[in-house]
Protein backbone atom coordinates (compact mmCIF):
# COMPACT_ATOMS: atom_id res chain seq x y z
CA UNK A 1 0.00 0.00 0.00
CA UNK A 2 1.25 3.45 -0.93
CA UNK A 3 0.03 6.88 0.12
CA UNK A 4 0.62 9.93 -2.07
CA UNK A 5 0.28 13.47 -0.68
CA UNK A 6 0.52 15.94 -3.57
CA UNK A 7 0.33 19.73 -3.32
CA UNK A 8 -0.57 21.45 -6.58
CA UNK A 9 -0.79 24.96 -7.97
CA UNK A 10 -1.82 26.17 -11.40
CA UNK A 11 1.88 25.99 -12.28
CA UNK A 12 2.31 22.35 -11.22
CA UNK A 13 3.50 20.43 -8.19
CA UNK A 14 4.70 22.34 -5.12
CA UNK A 15 5.42 19.24 -3.07
CA UNK A 16 4.74 15.55 -3.14
CA UNK A 17 5.26 12.97 -0.43
CA UNK A 18 5.03 9.25 -1.28
CA UNK A 19 4.91 6.77 1.58
CA UNK A 20 4.90 3.00 1.59
CA UNK A 21 2.31 2.88 4.38
CA UNK A 22 -0.93 4.44 5.49
CA UNK A 23 -0.71 8.09 6.44
CA UNK A 24 -0.91 8.93 10.14
CA UNK A 25 -2.12 12.17 11.69
CA UNK A 26 1.44 12.85 12.90
CA UNK A 27 2.68 12.80 9.31
CA UNK A 28 -0.34 14.42 7.64
CA UNK A 29 -0.85 17.50 9.85
CA UNK A 30 2.64 19.03 9.31
CA UNK A 31 2.10 18.58 5.55
CA UNK A 32 -1.16 20.55 5.87
CA UNK A 33 0.19 23.44 8.00
CA UNK A 34 0.52 25.99 5.15
CA UNK A 35 -3.04 25.27 4.04
CA UNK A 36 -5.76 26.26 3.79
CA UNK A 37 -4.60 29.70 2.78
CA UNK A 38 -5.91 32.40 0.48
CA UNK A 39 -7.22 30.87 -2.76
CA UNK A 40 -6.67 27.33 -1.43
CA UNK A 41 -8.90 24.39 -2.21
CA UNK A 42 -8.66 21.12 -0.32
CA UNK A 43 -9.63 17.88 -2.04
CA UNK A 44 -9.92 14.90 0.27
CA UNK A 45 -11.53 11.51 -0.01
CA UNK A 46 -13.22 9.51 2.72
CA UNK A 47 -9.96 8.30 4.30
CA UNK A 48 -10.06 7.80 8.07
CA UNK A 49 -7.42 10.51 8.63
CA UNK A 50 -9.71 13.09 6.96
CA UNK A 51 -12.24 12.67 9.79
CA UNK A 52 -9.74 13.51 12.55
CA UNK A 53 -10.99 16.26 14.88
CA UNK A 54 -7.65 18.11 14.91
CA UNK A 55 -7.52 18.16 11.10
CA UNK A 56 -11.12 19.38 10.89
CA UNK A 57 -10.24 22.22 13.29
CA UNK A 58 -7.25 23.22 11.10
CA UNK A 59 -9.50 23.32 8.04
CA UNK A 60 -12.25 25.32 9.76
CA UNK A 61 -9.84 27.89 11.25
Asked if residues 43 and 35 have their Cβ atoms less than 8 Å apart, the reply is: no
Range of the domain at 17: 3-60
- 3-state percent helix, strand, coil for the chain, nearest multiple of 5: 35, 25, 45
d(CA 55, CA 32): 9
Average pLDDT over residues 8-20: 82
Average pLDDT of every residue of the chain = 81
Instruction: Give pLDDT, residue 11.
Output: 78
Say yes or no to pLDDT of 36 above 70.
Answer: no
Q: How many domains, in total, are found in the chain?
A: 1
Instruction: Give pLDDT, residue 20.
Output: 92
- DSSP per residue, 8-24: EETTEEEEEEEESSPPP
pLDDT in tens, 37-54: 777 778 888 888 888 898
Amino acid sequence: RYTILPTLTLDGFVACDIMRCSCSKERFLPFMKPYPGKNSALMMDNAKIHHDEELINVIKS
